[in-house]
Structure 1
Amino acid sequence: MTQSYKEELIVVSGAATGIGAATAHELASMGYHVLAGVRTNHEADAIRAAGIEPITLDITVPKHIEALAKRIANDPEQRPLRALINNAGIEINAPVEVLPLEQWREQFEVNLFGHIAVIQLLLPFLRQSRGRIVNISSVGGVAALPIFGAYAGTKFALEAASDSLRREVAAQGVQVVVVQPGGVATEMAAHSGAISLELADKMNAEHQRLYGDLVKSTVASNAAFLKRAVPAAKAGAKIAKVTTAARPRTRYTLGKDAAFIIPLARFLPARLMDKMLSASHRSQRNTSAR
């Protein structure tokens, strides 16, 4: 990566809060000019700072992505686009049978198709600068927990798309890196459990019988897990480091939990992994019942 940090742009989607905001601030402190994707004026006012320029960017809205591309093309200082960090995302968890199809589609629109749309329009800039794409995946992109089917599905797909893209653009001088966070203390993570319980309350009697305890134990287990989550600032610092590393790896885990779970999911037989998760949920149900 070039050393002329102040002469380069970096785009961060989903920069209003959490990992995205922390990454934007870290990169700005390093001297980059960050185009920080937000969706509202309130979010823009909250993130605006030295080196951080809020950009209205709902990645499911083509006009927003087109406006971002024009902003880069017409940069008054003719700064190159050094990196694109695809961080925007949503998480709505419920059993596969229960989650409405529109919420499956919504998650794929944001967590996958929106990122692809941004990549397609910004790749020419990155090709010109020999820049980098950093896709924020998840431990859920390797290990799919119960009730996480839709969210994990989007991340599995992002992992596959990242592999294909990396192999397609390597000869063009563009690098593609995947970051796989485990538990990170963010607003999205904090609210996901409440959303799951709200959806569970709307299940019919048969679905309550089949899945009620599973949803409650999974939410409780995740809540306990998040008490040991990586702070967003620490996650943002690592992503900024990955984004600017001279010789990046193709993948990075983020957090001790991801570093532990991802190898297990890759190398343990699936049935053994199933038994381990089932035992964990039984333990959580017993703890919650006390």
Structure 2
Amino acid sequence: MTVRDRCSVTSMSTGELIVVSGASTGIGAATARELASRGYHVLAGVRRDEDADAIRAARIEPVMLDITIGKHVEALASRIALDSKRRLLRAVINNAGIEINAPIEVLPLDTWRELFEVNLFGHIRVIQALLPALRQSRGRVVNISSVGAEATLPIYGAYAGSKAAFESASDALRREVAPQGIQVVIVQSGGVKTPMAAKSGPLSLKLAQGMNVEHTRLYGALISSTVTFQSSFLQRAMTAEQAAKKIRKITTTKRPRTRYGLGLDAAFTLPMARFLPARLMDRVVPG
């Protein structure tokens, strides 16, 4: 058994608390189950009673958590502070998110605001509320971002923009709280087979149907080709369960890196985005 393994075993024997937002389905649900199987008590954020019933299990406690609603976040903070067993909060995994993709000229500003409210501001609300508990435990923030924050496909501007902003905030947070013993880790997720990913392409095509004639002429083929590319790739993508195992390791390893790629596309896309000239990257990115 390695030193790293011993550290993980020691932590899991305590039954410490871990928060996972967006745990109704997909990566969040799989991560909650994976961590619970390792002995942690998971506070799994869901938004509907039926989702709570589906995720509830040994060491998985569903909590109503729409991260855009202040009262939900306040209730979560109180639940942790008043834990009957006085368990420490080991980690917060900020996974909740929405994805709506359309050309920048076409996507309404209200939809942009909705994306940023969930994918950025909601997570900041959770972080602000739970930092006192993480300070007490010298715990960890794990922020689930996207490959798109560095390598953005056409029509993904709003979603990728919200993730890029989340990464910049995460970098600042890491430097702010490191002296307090809190670690901040970014996970740049690529393609993963989840309900959100499966809905993304059809939703883009549906939005395209509402475009006017000029926008259809300008962007119709681009939307179609981008959706086709992503849908084809998702057939070969990792499962939510595979992603959850990697997130569990990232959450529990003693000395994590500041950033991790998640998935096959992350492995080859992120290095290209970082080292290729922008004009060359424009030719590489599908569109």
Give your verdict on TM over 0.5.
yes
CA distance in 1 between partners of 2:78 and 2:278 (Å): 47
* 1:140 matched residue in structure 2: 148
CA–CA separation in structure 2 for the residues paired with 1:276 and 1:259? 15
The 5 A counterparts of 1:92-107 are 92-107=100-115
Instruction: Give the TM-score normalised by the residue count of structure 2.
Output: 0.96
Q: Which residue of 1 aligns with 2:66?
A: 58
CA distance in 2, matches of 1:256, 1:194: 23
Q: Which residue of 1 aligns with 2:272?
A: 264
Select which of 237, 245, 259 maps to 2:253: 245
2:37 maps to which of 20, 25, 29: 29
Give the counterpart of 1:123 among 97, 110, 131: 131
Show the counterpart of 1:286: none
Verify: 1:165 aligned to 2:183, yes or no.
no
The code of the aligned residue for 1:238 comes to K
- CA shift at 1:266, angstroms? 1.0
Aligned-partner SS, 1:249 = coil
- 1:211 correspondence with 2:219: yes
Inter-partner Cα distance in structure 1 for 2:36 and 2:192: 21
**Equivalent residues in 2 for 1:185-200, closer than 5 Å:** 185-200=193-208
The letter for the 2-side match of 1:268 is L
The structural deviation recorded for 1:4 is 4.0
Please give the root-mean-square deviation of Cα atoms over the aligned residues, in Å. 0.9
Corresponding position: 1:112 with 2:112: no
Deviation at 1:259, TM superposition (A): 1.1
Task: Report 1:68-83 matches (<5 A).
Answer: 68-83=76-91
- Give percent identity, aligned residues only: 69
Work out whether residues 104 and 157 of structure 2, in 8 Å CA contact, stay in contact via their aligned partners in 1.
yes
The amino acid across from 2:179 in the alignment is A
How far apart, CA to CA, are the structure 1 residues paired with 2:283 and 2:195?
Answer: 31
Aligned to 1:273: 281
User: Alignment partner for residue 223 of structure 1, among 199, 211, 231?
Assistant: 231
- Which amino acid letter does the alignment assign opposite residue 275 of structure 2? F
2:46 aligned partner, one-letter code: V
What are the within-5 Å matches in structure 2 for residues 4-23 of structure 1? 4-5=11-12, 6-23=14-31
SS of 1:16's equivalent?
Answer: coil
- Provide Cα deviations, 1:142-178, integer angstroms capped at 9, x if missing partner: 1111000000001100110110000000000000001
Distance 2:156 2:253 in 1: 32
Separation in 1 of the partners of 2:65 and 2:284? 40
Measured after TM superposition, the shift of residue 7 of structure 1 is 3.2
Deviation at 1:255, TM superposition (A): 1.0
Moved more, 2-11 or 229-238: 2-11
Letter of the aligned partner of 1:224 in structure 2? S
| Corresponding position of 1:285 | none
Contact 2:68 2:117 in 1 (8 A): yes
CA distance, structure 1, for counterparts of residue 209 and residue 34 of structure 2: 40
- Which one-letter code corresponds to 2:262 in the other structure? L
Q: Which amino acid aligns with 2:180?
A: Q
Aligned counterparts of 1:244 and 1:276: Cα–Cα separation in 2: 36
Cα offset for 1:256? 1.6
Instruction: List structure 1 segments (4+ residues) > 6 angstroms apart after TM superposition.
Output: none
Per-residue deviation at 1:244?
0.3
Taking the aligned partners of 1:261 and 1:238, their CA distance within structure 2 comes to 18
Specify the alignment match of 2:99 in structure 1: 91
* Contact map agreement 2:237 2:264 (CA 8 A) in 1: no
Q: Indicate which of 47, 66, 75 corresponds to 1:39.
A: 47
Question: How many residue pairs end up in the alignment?
Answer: 279
- Cα distance in 2 for residues equivalent to 1:90 and 1:7: 30
